[in-house]
Amino acid sequence: MSDLLRQLLMLPDPASEAAREIDVLHFVVLGTTLVGFLAVACVTAWWLWRYRRRGDRPTERVTGSRRLELSIGGALLTLFVGWWVVGFLQYLDLQDAPEGAEEIYVTGKQWMWKFAWPSGRAVVGVLPVPVDRDVRLVLTSRDVVHSFFVPALRMKQDALPGRFTRLDFRADRLGTYPVYCAEYCGQSHARMGATVVVLSAEDYADWVAGRTPATLVPLLKGREVPDVAAEGGLAAEGRRVMQRVGCLACHSLDGSPSVGPTLLGLYGSEVELQGGERVVADSDYLTRALRDPNGQIVAGYDPVMPSFEEQLSAEERVAIFEALRALGDEEAP
């Protein structure tokens, strides 16, 4: 029955359990509203026939039932709130991957999608992911707003310039699935596509290790971009970027005091701000710190950090985040 409904609605076969759950909600909402529409149409037709004008005799006065009106209104409100709750819970599932999820960085640019792994490997237009394993995409844009849309996974997330958003999923079917940009982004918006390739655990392990599985060879022709894997991966590249733009002049990497807070163990930790507020130092917090460093001042430090909004590309920010994540796993001497 579900397959027939998907054919009627022109939906692609789902490639994850979350996609199937979204389909169930979709079918229930459409089925219920269709039944409601037919019921209203039948009542309307009966009403027109029952209370039609007969010759010169005036139409009889009709009085409604307050109890009936409240019952119908309450039932519709209950349906609406129930569907909203189910949909909101499904949305939270797409934003809450467990610890240990495979993290991949996604950068949108007119008019292509670029994917990068912490190892330093990077590809344009092809996103290999492991089957039956949680994946977290960290998205940003280099120019305008794009929207990363995978119909087979029933997931869509905006990629915003100067910000990082995330999208979590777990594909459970091997295969290739198209990606589209669902936000109009310019002249070649319709051609801004990519492909998600769900690989077996063995093939994905080869991919992460720097080898290319046979299934990816025809898809990757001319799509791999130079990476920094031979020079230590994204974490090492992030340290080089921090050194180049001057971050290490004010922030230490070993826990020692300096002009600004140490970067050792910063990523994912809880930071106390001036005024007593406490925030988690995740990618959103760090993005704000690079754009408007004086917007959230760490307790005990002066507002002397300049903005790096114009000095860092999206790829360089990703590298810095990966370097800070690696530092979060180290211990102070």
Residue 130: CATH number of its domain: 2.60.40.420
37-41, 109-113, 130-134, 312-316: segment of lowest average pLDDT = 312-316
Per residue in 37-48, pLDDT (tens digit) is 999 999 999 988
Look at residue 228 and tell me whether its pLDDT is greater than 80.
no
Q: Which of 199, 227, 255 is the last residue of a domain?
A: 227
pLDDT band of 179, cuts 50, 70, 90: very high
97-101, 148-152, 202-206: segment of lowest average pLDDT = 97-101
Distance CA 116, CA 103 (A): 9
Per residue in 122-141, pLDDT (tens digit) is 888 899 999 999 998 988 88
Helix, strand, coil share (%) of the chain residues, nearest 5: 40, 20, 40
Alpha carbon distances (Å) from 308 to 33, 231, 294, 311: 51, 24, 12, 5
Specify the pTM. Answer: 0.69
Domain-embedded: residue 60: no
Q: Give the pLDDT score at 229.
A: 46
Mean of pLDDT values over 62-73: 86
Task: Enumerate residues 6+ apart whose C-beta is below 8 A from 293.
Answer: 303, 305, 306, 307, 308
Domain-embedded: residue 248: yes
HSE toward the beta carbon, residue 7, CA cutoff 13 A: 4
Same domain? For 237 and 218 the reply is no
Task: Enumerate residues 6+ apart whose C-beta is below 8 A from 173.
Answer: 13, 15, 16, 131, 198
For the chain, how many structural domains are there in total?
A: 3
> Structure tokens of 331?
């211990």
Same domain? For 276 and 207 the reply is no
Same domain? For 107 and 218 the reply is yes
> Structure tokens of 324?
């800070």
Q: Give the pLDDT score at 63.
A: 77
Q: Check which CATH number belongs to the domain holding 305 and give it.
A: 1.10.760.10
pLDDT band of 83, cuts 50, 70, 90: very high
Same domain? For 114 and 223 the reply is yes
Distance CA 116, CA 227 (A): 9
pLDDT band of 222, cuts 50, 70, 90: low
pLDDT band of 328, cuts 50, 70, 90: low
Domain-embedded: residue 56: no
Mean of pLDDT values over 33-57: 86
Mean of pLDDT values over 101-122: 85
Same domain? For 237 and 207 the reply is no
Look at residue 278 and tell me whether its pLDDT is greater than 90.
no
Is the Cα dihedral 88, 143, 306, 286 positive or negative? Answer: positive
Mean of pLDDT values over 98-117: 86
* More confident: 146 or 227: 146
pLDDT band of 332, cuts 50, 70, 90: very low
Q: Which of 227, 254, 283 is the last residue of a domain?
A: 227
Domain-embedded: residue 15: yes
Distance CA 304, CA 166 (A): 30
Domain-embedded: residue 137: yes
Look at residue 302 and tell me whether its pLDDT is greater than 70.
yes
Alpha carbon distances (Å) from 305 to 142, 247, 292: 23, 9, 9
Same domain? For 180 and 236 the reply is no
Q: Give the pLDDT score at 288.
A: 77
3-12, 68-77, 218-227, 274-283: segment of lowest average pLDDT = 218-227
Q: What domain range is 26 assigned to?
A: 2-47+65-93
Q: Give the pLDDT score at 77.
A: 94
Q: Give the pLDDT score at 13.
A: 87
Mean of pLDDT values over 83-88: 92
